[in-house]
Structure 1
Amino acid sequence: MADRTESAQPADLETDVAVVGGGPAGLHAALAMARGGLDVVLLDESGTLGGQYFKRRPAQLAAAFGDFRPRGTQLIDAVRDAGVDCRTGTLVWGAEDAGRTLFTSDVETGALGRVRARVTLAATGAYERALPFPGWTLPGVVTPGFALHLATMDRVPVGKRVVLAGTGPFLLQVACALLEVGAGIEAVVELNTPYRPRPGMIGDALRQPARLAEAARYLLTLARHGVRVEQGARVLAAHGDTQVTAVDIAGADGTVRRVEADALCVGYGFRPSTELPRLLGCRTTPDPTGTEQLPVTDADGATSLDGLYVAGDCAGIAGVHAAGVRGQLAAYAILRRLAPERAGPSARQLAAVRRRARSLDRFAALADRLYPAPDMADIADTTQVCRCEGVTAGEIRQARATGWNDLSGTKAATRAGMGPCQGRECGHVVAALAGRGTAECFAARMPLRPLPMAAAVDGAKATEGREIR
């Protein structure tokens, strides 16, 4: 179901607010601002709005199986009805002047454009966190999000015998979706022990009854299918030639067993997509894992740069419910800034949204404690870390050991993170292996995503000779 409505989009736009990202945070923010009377342009690289959470099925599958998450479709329709100029298939590859000028490219034609806005809201979401291990590059080894996409959008199981591993409540959701489309779950391997009650966390968990009920539904579904969550366990390696055929699993007691499987889904939560605010130079701080740099914001998402706001998982991983609330708070702040004379939410309504935001932030903090990311220090030297450039963990450690190579120097010496993904897949691992006790990440540079060569040349002219790397 494509959202693109303009066959020939104007190369240059001017607007009150540019929202980058059409997921839950961007949609909620755009809706509130448009209803408040602001001129809003919503930019998203995907061909459809909704982000990863509010995906929409192709028309034929929607007719056969129904709308996926109808609430998302209702939200998207409301955004359009409010008059938001939705520009899907539009890549934001660069920016300047605190985000007041955004450089764009049409993902189909490569045509360049420019959006000038009084305020920019970055709602760019997150990536899945993948960690390397022996065999992780085999066909059939995928992220849980990819498996969920196949199961929910295409109604296709990623395999007949599936192992899910990593950490986070997302594994439960994916396992249930796979069971629904007929996959066999050989194992659910949870690195941590979140489902064993601990006195210090029980009180915090009880303050989130909706989230507890959601997790309980997933666990009961798995139990009905005879699937047990193995806590304190981890995947050691995947085996196979042209396809994964077996997985080595280390249990909590240290014993190792081999499980036959034709698909392995491994993910360790999510990483914020912060390239745009970091490119613009806003102040940042390390995230709870110590491997990412998050924009520093106030309670409404305002950054250290005047006119730049962030919302959703771009401001720190907290989940879809928090993303929507953060989008609303950013929208209300922008309305107060640009249209103070117009009626916004009442003081009572705003206070309720702020309370909801604080509650969801507490839940995110609890999740960080329940599902901590693993230490990457024990990744074997022979394990390939950068798939694009074929760089191993040992080569990264060797570059670091020279004594003068910081993260940027290690990147230059090994080419780790210089491939098509530009470090989005491996950057956090390279930073952990090359770091010297401080949280670092690859510098954000234009273009933020790969561009066709012709577009890159034109882009260099558009940015008046600024370096594009």
Structure 2
Amino acid sequence: MADVMAESEADVAVVGGGPAGLHAALVLARGGLRVVLLDESDTLGGQYYKRRAEQLTAAFGDFRPQGTELIRQVRESGVDCRTGTLVWGAEDAGRTLFTSDVRTGALGRVSTRATLVATGAYERSLPFPGWTLPGVVTPGFALHLATMDRVPVGQRVVLAGTGPFLLPVACALLEVGARIEALVELNHPYRPGISSIAGALRQPARLAEAARYLLTLARHGVRVEQGSRVLAAHGDTQVTAVDVAQEDGSVRQLETDALCVGFGFRPSTELPRLLGCDTRPDPTGTEQLPVVDTDGSTSLDGLYIAGDCAGIAGVHAAGVRGQLAAHAILRRLAPERAPVRVAGLRRRARALDRFAELADRLYPLPNAADIPDATQVCRCEGVTAGEIREAAATGWNDLHGTKAATRAGMGPCQGRECGHIVAALAGRREGGAECFAARMPIRPLPMAATVEGQEVQ
């Protein structure tokens, strides 16, 4: 059985130990506040500042040493860093957080004066025939293997989807010896118009970063096939071939032993939506994004949001947003300790937000409603696109009725993987976006923890 619930207090709770949460926690602790940093992973850093195992670090060096330094500063500043701690619920505008130890199931309750949510994002997947075959993975998974374990996801790899993230993934795969059979980009971001070029020139560092990736690919003979997309993957016990629709309308088949497909990222918004802060629909009509001001404040007093949880803008914007939110919290809780001017941070945030808007224009998402009927959408419950359409077509099934009728989104991922696809197939709610409601527990809990935790409801 789970341990008896442990209770603790802090001035500020930061949920998420990635770049936004780390930068925020450091500012808050240096401002004299008691800060608790909660992260579900075993180590701090999030996806961007992931840590290599000691043996690999000794052999290949530190992965992103700036992250190691940031984590060191956070720990030395006195932040109470609680890794392996799942935040599965909250109430009172985030002033009470319910936690569970991911190793033991032990329950906890954290009371705070303010909460900063920096829960990051998920990779965005779009189903297609064959996407459930072994060897079909997300780009993030391939990047993790290549950078953390120095292992290629396959010897012959096809990368596909859309977004700038495909470029560093391809370069990481080349570094560990994989052969890139094709990099299939849905859009035409590397043939931009005049307005897009002008926007990119305002961020020379980001432009230079993209240029380095493209030059690396060119040196290895990898061509970015723009205006192309994966139609289907084939194989029995492993993906062996991929059908690619090319820009001229022809279809060619590539042999491969790994297919990495991704369409950018989706904000992880369950916690702020659970607490009931104001939201707005995203451009796809299948997400509700928290409404925040320039400093990360929400409509709920004491609840702040930073990083990709508030909208995808990348790691550099996440760090700046985390600092801005921390300064806003300091002004609220300890104004005498917050003399720092933030005009420079705000200018930097605006510039990075404009760059994120440019990326959205260069890498628009495809229409998820075009998925063939026989394609499995909800892998947890084995529900196809056709079954979702049939349930939605009854006339009385809204998104949640469709979920109840088909069980799509009721598996262990709780709709985090398929919810946006189910929403697209079920049709938009008139007047705004519709997405699965956030409910406690927002992550699966061990049964023992659930039984013991009845007292917190």
- What TM-score does the superposition give when structure 2 sets the normalisation length? 0.98
Q: Is the 8 A contact 1:335 1:344 kept in 2?
A: no
- 1:45-444 pair list within 5 angstroms: 45-345=40-340, 347=341, 350-437=342-429, 438-444=432-438
Q: 2:412 is aligned with what amino acid?
A: P
Question: By how many angstroms is 1:197 displaced?
Answer: 2.6
Question: By how many angstroms is 1:341 displaced?
Answer: 1.2
Q: 1:445 is aligned with what amino acid?
A: R
Question: By how many angstroms is 1:305 displaced?
Answer: 0.6
CA distance in 2 between counterparts of 1:10 and 1:70 reads 37
Per mean C-alpha deviation after superposition, the further-off stretch among 451-460 and 409-418 is 451-460
Question: By how many angstroms is 1:10 displaced?
Answer: 8.2
Residue 169 of structure 1 aligns to a residue whose secondary structure is coil
CA distance in 2 between counterparts of 1:288 and 1:363 reads 17
What does residue 466 of structure 1 align with?
A: none
Residue 377 of structure 1 aligns to a residue whose secondary structure is helix
- 1:20-39 pair list within 5 angstroms: 20-39=15-34
Q: Is the 8 A contact 1:36 1:344 kept in 2?
A: no
Q: Is the 8 A contact 1:396 1:410 kept in 2?
A: yes
CA distance in 2 between counterparts of 1:159 and 1:202 reads 35
Residue 266 of structure 2 aligns to a residue whose secondary structure is strand
CA distance in 1 between counterparts of 2:270 and 2:224 reads 35
Q: 1:54 is aligned with what amino acid?
A: Y
What does residue 14 of structure 1 align with?
A: 9
Per mean C-alpha deviation after superposition, the further-off stretch among 176-185 and 431-440 is 431-440
CA distance in 1 between counterparts of 2:308 and 2:179 reads 32
CA distance in 1 between counterparts of 2:57 and 2:272 reads 36
What does residue 3 of structure 1 align with?
A: none
Per mean C-alpha deviation after superposition, the further-off stretch among 450-459 and 94-103 is 450-459
Question: By how many angstroms is 1:218 displaced?
Answer: 0.2
Residue 336 of structure 2 aligns to a residue whose secondary structure is coil
Q: 1:391 is aligned with what amino acid?
A: V
What does residue 461 of structure 1 align with?
A: 455
CA distance in 1 between counterparts of 2:387 and 2:286 reads 19
Q: Is the 8 A contact 2:124 2:265 kept in 1?
A: yes
Pairing partner for 1:452 from 426, 433, 446: 446
CA distance in 1 between counterparts of 2:5 and 2:277 reads 29
Question: By how many angstroms is 1:287 displaced?
Answer: 1.6
Q: 1:403 is aligned with what amino acid?
A: G
1:157-210 deviation per Cα after TM superposition (whole angstroms, max 9, x unaligned)? 000000000000100000000000000000000001000031231211111111
Uncovered stretches (5+) of structure 1, i.e. residues with no partner: 1-7, 464-469
Residue 411 of structure 2 aligns to a residue whose secondary structure is coil
1:396-429 deviation per Cα after TM superposition (whole angstroms, max 9, x unaligned)? 0001100010000000000000001100100000
Question: By how many angstroms is 1:290 displaced?
Answer: 2.3
How many residues end up aligned between the 2 structures?
453
CA distance in 1 between counterparts of 2:428 and 2:348 reads 38
Q: Is the 8 A contact 2:331 2:338 kept in 1?
A: no
Question: By how many angstroms is 1:432 displaced?
Answer: 0.6
Question: By how many angstroms is 1:131 displaced?
Answer: 0.6
Give RMSD over aligned pairs: 1.1
Per mean C-alpha deviation after superposition, the further-off stretch among 374-383 and 258-267 is 374-383
CA distance in 2 between counterparts of 1:449 and 1:244 reads 31
Q: Is the 8 A contact 1:289 1:372 kept in 2?
A: no
CA distance in 2 between counterparts of 1:150 and 1:68 reads 13
CA distance in 1 between counterparts of 2:437 and 2:208 reads 40
1:409-454 deviation per Cα after TM superposition (whole angstroms, max 9, x unaligned)? 0000000000011001000000111123541110000001000111
- What TM-score does the superposition give when structure 1 sets the normalisation length? 0.95
Q: 1:356 is aligned with what amino acid?
A: R
